[in-house]
Amino acid sequence: MKSCYGLTGGIGSGKSTVAKLFEALGARIVDTDEISHRLTAAGGLAIPAIQQAFGDSYITEDGALDRTVMRALVFSDLDAKQRLQAILHPMILGQAKSDALSPSEAAYTLVVVPLLFESGRYRDWLDSVIVVDCPEAQQIAHTLKRSALDESTVRSIMAQQMDRASRLQLADEIIMNNSSLEQLEARVSELHKSLSAR
């Protein structure tokens, strides 16, 4: 069986950019955020359970999860957050595992999981874990630039994630994203060669 590696990092660290670079070099990418979006889109497999647990006001007119309303709820209500995770996380894990372990022409698969260490559901079946890292100020700047979130929301998301030092301690490989795109590409290329040769 081909190797499966995890790719993680804090919000705004550059995981998506790094995943795209690996994909361009020929890696297969399984992105748990994309799986989550599919499950919660109109007609998604998670919608009936979410509707039953939270009611119609959390579903848009076209039948998708209303992310803005749900985000506001789960940030202010830990019980609601845990109920949502109990619905989504097993479904995301099942789909990610199924996608990652299916046959592929690629030399290896990268499974992109924002809360990989926090979830405790991925480490045991992945060969190793790559962490994308950058200073916290850079994480905040990246996130503010690419999303509609304000700084206090970004900081509260970061506060709910594993702290940077702990994440780095658990990493098998680290990709520093604190310089130019060229340097990031060079590091990804170097690691791609190493992963392909394993």
36-71 per-position pLDDT tens digit: 999 999 999 999 999 999 999 999 999 999 998 998
Among candidate residues 29, 170, 193, the one with its CA nearest the CA of residue 111:
29
Mean pLDDT of 66-84: 91
* H/E run at residue 69: helix 67-76
Report the C-alpha gap between 12 and 8 in whole angstroms: 11
Report the C-alpha gap between 81 and 183 in whole angstroms: 38
Report the C-alpha gap between 31 and 18 in whole angstroms: 12
User: Quick one: DSSP state of residue 42?
Assistant: T
1: pLDDT strictly greater than 80: no
* Chain length of the chain: 198
